[in-house]
Amino acid sequence: MSMNGMANDDVMVSMADTGDANRNVRISLRGAAGTEINLSVRQARALAMELLDIVQANGGSPAEDAVSSGKNALAETDLRSVPLKEVIFALPSLTAAAIGWKIKRFRQYSRVRYNTYRRPIVEIAGIKIPIGKHLSDNLRDAIFGGYYEGAELRTVKSKLDRNDRVMEIGTGIGFISSYCARLIGSERVFTFEANPALEPCIRQLYALNSVAPTLEICLLSDRIGEQTFYVEKDFWMSSTIRVNSDARPIQVPMKLLNEEIGRIDPTFLILDIEGGEFDLFRYIDFRNIRKIAIELHTAILGREKAEFVKSVMAKHGFQVDERLSGRIENYKEELFLERR
């Protein structure tokens, strides 16, 4: 995709209804300074066909047969006969927001593919991260940009002591547990991940960084047995709470949370489990935990449950350190709390 003369990531989209019975929409893509974005024939067709899909979620919900017929028409169209600055296809409705979003995703896709080829291993804070297919474009972009897990990393850098024992619930790809192990030793880091598909990726990252935190693939609960866990395409969205209808349900073994806390005797709890924090905080025994780094997922839990989690921590003497905490209104809170 050629973007000659574009000064930033802003994209202005102009649309014009051609006025015919089928409501064909003509789209001209122009950069912030009025510079045209030129698409190759392959890119133009791919962009147009993907826009047909995204419209259902972002603009007007056209009927299924309209989407299908639109795709068929595109597949049969020789886009070489269309000026590259214009992509023309039939849709009942289309929003500029959806188009702008998709253009940015297209640019992200190109950037991520280039970086993946050029940098198969990325280093953040001294931890090497292998870039594999298990990582979505959004996660790869964050890793290449150096801001992946930025809030948790900042907290750990500031507050982790060599005498701490870390218990992490929600391992992800193993980045934070690797960083903790590098600082205080693998024998003092214990981490729990519910998604079994991530285990090979986690262990690969550990091996690459010569660390070996204790990793267990299970859910923590107030009972033993199995529980349904919903696996998302973006693994970081996976949770015991079903957010998207296309999430894949799997059965995951459960261990007793408070039994594990008693065995590990952690002083530092790191928690990022996409809404699962509410259930854990209904029965958690903090014992000797003095520090908590938690992602509180307000958008999933709702305000009432999020406030309940905070009230439990406050009741046990934990105070929020505002210098290491941040909030995105009605979405999530990244909090660090400590008690003396």
Q: Which domains does the chain have, with CATH numbers?
A: 11-110 (no CATH), 150-338 (3.40.50.150)
- Angle, CA of 261, 124 and 117, to the nearest 5°: 125
Q: How far apart are CA 210 and CA 204, in angstroms?
A: 10
Q: How far apart are CA 213 and CA 207, in angstroms?
A: 10
pLDDT of residue 240: 82
Q: What is the pLDDT along the chain (340 residues), one digit of tens a residue?
A: 333 332 333 333 333 334 433 333 344 444 333 334 444 545 555 555 555 454 444 444 433 444 444 444 444 444 444 443 444 343 333 444 455 556 666 666 677 666 666 778 989 999 999 988 778 877 887 888 888 898 899 999 999 999 999 999 999 999 999 999 999 999 999 999 999 989 999 999 999 999 999 999 999 999 999 999 998 877 777 888 887 788 889 999 999 999 999 999 999 999 998 888 999 999 999 999 999 999 998 888 899 999 999 999 999 999 999 999 998 887 889 999 999 8
Please list the alpha-helical segments (H only) found in 190-302. Answer: 199-208, 257-264, 277-280, 298-301
Residue located via tokens 């349900």: 249
Pairing of strands 268-271, 86-90: unpaired
pLDDT of residue 24: 38
User: Which is nearest to 91 in space by CA: 31, 131, 51?
Assistant: 51
pLDDT of residue 46: 54
* pTM listed for this prediction: 0.69
pLDDT of residue 201: 93
pLDDT of residue 313: 98
Ramachandran assignment for 126, one of left (phi > 0), alpha (psi -120 to 50 degrees), beta (any other)? left
User: Which is nearest to 291 in space by CA: 333, 339, 324?
Assistant: 339
pLDDT of residue 261: 98
